Amino acid sequence: MGVMKRVTMVFRAKANKALDRMEDPRETLDYSYQTQLELLQKVRRGVADVATSRKRVELQLNQLQQNSDKLDRQARDSLAAGREDLAREALTRKAGVQTQLEELQGQYASLQSEEEKLTQASSRLQSKVDAFRTRKETIKATYTAAEAQTRINEAFTGISEEMGDVGMAIQRAEDKTEQMKARAGAIDELMASGALDDMVSGPHDDIQAELDRMGAGHGVDGELERMKAELAQNAPRQIEGSQPGTSDGAGADAGSTAAAPDTAQAGEPE
Amino acid sequence: MIVRILGEGQLELPDSAAEELNRLDAALESAVEKRDEAAFRPALAALLAKVRQAGSATAADDLRPSELIVPRPDASMEEVHKLLTDEGLIPG
């Protein structure tokens, strides 16, 4: 008979069973409409849940990316300081973070697509529910009980198919969200316990400690030099603005506005 | 005739597409019956491709039920099998 026909029959059987239970079909239209509205609510909540889960994964992705970047910097600094052993260690840890990162990225994409599908399902269902409401009123107002039966059956079967489809989509999204919550919770726990955090940026960042001890890379002196160089490069206008003698006419306004917070800070002793 | 792709919505297809659809559907059914994973994925993809190629989306407020229903593109063979026997996949 074919897969398509058989699946259709399963959907129809479901609708027919519900129709058989109805004593007065016209009253049941109202009842069915209520159920439809409830399902719509459920789909909207589902969309919100998936979005929340997606945002949480997004935060974790950012954190992991920062960790990975930091380890990369540390590896470079270590190499520059002639410490290949430290660089190797940093890169090994980076590879570990990177694996987590890639896994999360895959799940992020799948949540995104689930969210999109559910949003579309929600708007499809909304259209059908609106159409059903109109049809329901027409049937109640216009047709005799005998005539109404056929029309009710058709509308009911159509909407019930949509509801079955959407119901499965929600179920699926819920399952995915649950899985994601569990995984995100595990990563949060790892970070909280220090296993991930310590490794990279926690108080016991041993690679950084070693680099600092050697005065290399991110050591205080190096950092100071780097900041001085950055300031000199990025803020010539601010310097101009705070030195009225060298300021030329154009851009003086922007210069003095930008310089204002600097001046305020310079006034503070610390 | 109206065909639903689960998770995506309904499309209207000309009746002339029926023969080709039946042929592709038979291949899918055989793969599911034999639990032949290697044949299942391409069979489902081919059926979906045909429905999409021959069909155009129905209006959003169209309440007509579908004549045929196709599983969603990323459905597993297990899911399709459950759909056929209605082991509680459709809620309600």
pLDDT digit string, tens, across residues A108-122: 998 999 999 999 999
Exposed e or buried b per residue across A149-177, where buried means at least 16 C-beta atoms within 10 angstroms of its C-beta: bebbbebbbbbbbbbbbbbbbbebbbebb
pLDDT at B48 over 90: yes
Is 60 exceeded by the pLDDT of residue A253? no
- ipTM entry: 0.89
Chain B nearest C-alpha distance from A42 (Å): 13
The band of A193, judged by pLDDT with boundaries at 50, 70 and 90, is low
Q: What is the pLDDT of residue A222?
A: 64
Distances (CA, A) of A65 to A68, A74, B5: 5, 14, 38
Residues in chain B whose beta carbon is closer than 8 A to a beta carbon of chain A?
3-4, 6-7, 9, 21-22, 25-26, 28-29, 32, 47, 60-71, 80, 83-84, 86, 89-92
- pLDDT value, residue A151: 83
In the predicted model, is pLDDT for residue A262 greater than 50? no
Identify the weakest region by mean pLDDT among A19-33, A92-106, B6-20: A19-33
Q: Is the pLDDT of residue A179 over 50?
A: yes
Q: Which of B7, B64, B84 sits opposite A7 (nearest CB)?
A: B84
pLDDT at A205 over 90: no
B91: nearest CB among A131, A159, A171:
A171
Closest residue in chain B to residue A135, using alpha carbons only: B63
Instruction: Give the residue from chain B lying closest to A173, CA to CA.
Output: B7
Residue predicted with more confidence, A195 or B41? B41
What's the whole-number mean pLDDT along residues A42-60? 92
Query: CA of A195, closest CA in chain B: separation in Å?
Result: 36
State whether A154 and B65 contact (CB < 8 Å).
yes
Residues of chain B neighbouring A1 (CB-CB closer than 8 A): 29
CB contact under 8 Å between B61 and A171, yes or no, is no
A124 inside 8 A of chain B by CB: yes
* Over residues A197-220, mean pLDDT: 62
Q: pLDDT at position A40, please?
A: 94
Closest by CA position to A161, among listed B45, B79, B7: B7
CB contact under 8 A, A168 and B9: no
Please give the average per-residue pLDDT across B66-71, as a whole number.
94
Q: What percent of chain A has pLDDT over 90?
A: 33
